[in-house]
Amino acid sequence: MVNIFPTLLIVCLFTGSKASWDVIYPIAVFMYCMHLKNAIDVSDTKWCGKGDRANNYDDLGSLDQLDSCCRTHDYCPISIKPFDTKYGILNIGISTVSSCDCEDDFFNCLKSVDGSQKNDAIAVGISYFNVLHLKCIKKETKCVLKIWGRCVHKSSGYNLFSGRWWT
């Protein structure tokens, strides 16, 4: 896919039309994000990137350490697929949103990859955590009723949180 963002930006600048920019910008961002999402596919893995190409759970690519991290992340028990609603949250993004715990596990797994696969793990980490920079889901308990400064009723539910950064 060709990155159309610069072309659309130039069109908007030369036309000087705010109305066209308001229409074109979201489309450009969406197309650019789709391009980035597809760019994260790692050819020597079966679980990293959009979907999976594995025949079964034990089927890993030649970058087995990295692939194992991606497979574990794909099996996160608390997640919301794009344009789906779960836990009272609508995921309007183009990628699955996972629990913050799964995101932390994925981050730590990628950091632990060593040897000849380390650079590929770093590339996936930067692409996933810094470029896509997805939100994550976390269950929270909040006080919903206080009397004289004391919590008398709590409520639990899932909320979206800003994702972490690859450092």
Instruction: Please report the DSSP string for 63-94 in residue order.
Output: SHHHHHHHHHHHT-SSEE-TT-EETTEE--SS
Percent of the chain with pLDDT over 70: 75
Tell me the H-state helices in the chain: 5-15, 18-39, 64-74, 100-112, 118-125
Q: Is the pLDDT of residue 2 over 70?
A: no
Mean pLDDT of 113-131: 92
Residue 159 to residue 167: CA distance in whole angstroms: 24
Q: What is the mean pLDDT of the chain?
A: 82
CA atoms within 13 A on the CB side of 92: 2
Per-domain residue ranges of the chain: 1-39, 41-161
Q: What is the model's pLDDT at position 71?
A: 96
Residue 2 to residue 66: CA distance in whole angstroms: 28
The tens digit of pLDDT for each residue in 89-119 reads: 999 888 899 999 999 999 999 999 999 999 9
Q: Report the DSSP beta bridge partners of residue 155.
A: 142
The tens digit of pLDDT for each residue in 11-57 reads: 444 444 455 555 555 555 555 455 444 555 678 899 998 888 899 99
- What CATH number labels 41-161? 1.20.90.10
Q: What is the model's pLDDT at position 24?
A: 52
Residue 52 to residue 64: CA distance in whole angstroms: 14
pTM above 0.85, yes or no: no
Q: What is the model's pLDDT at position 7?
A: 47
Q: What is the model's pLDDT at position 94?
A: 83
Q: What amino acid occupies position 63?
A: L
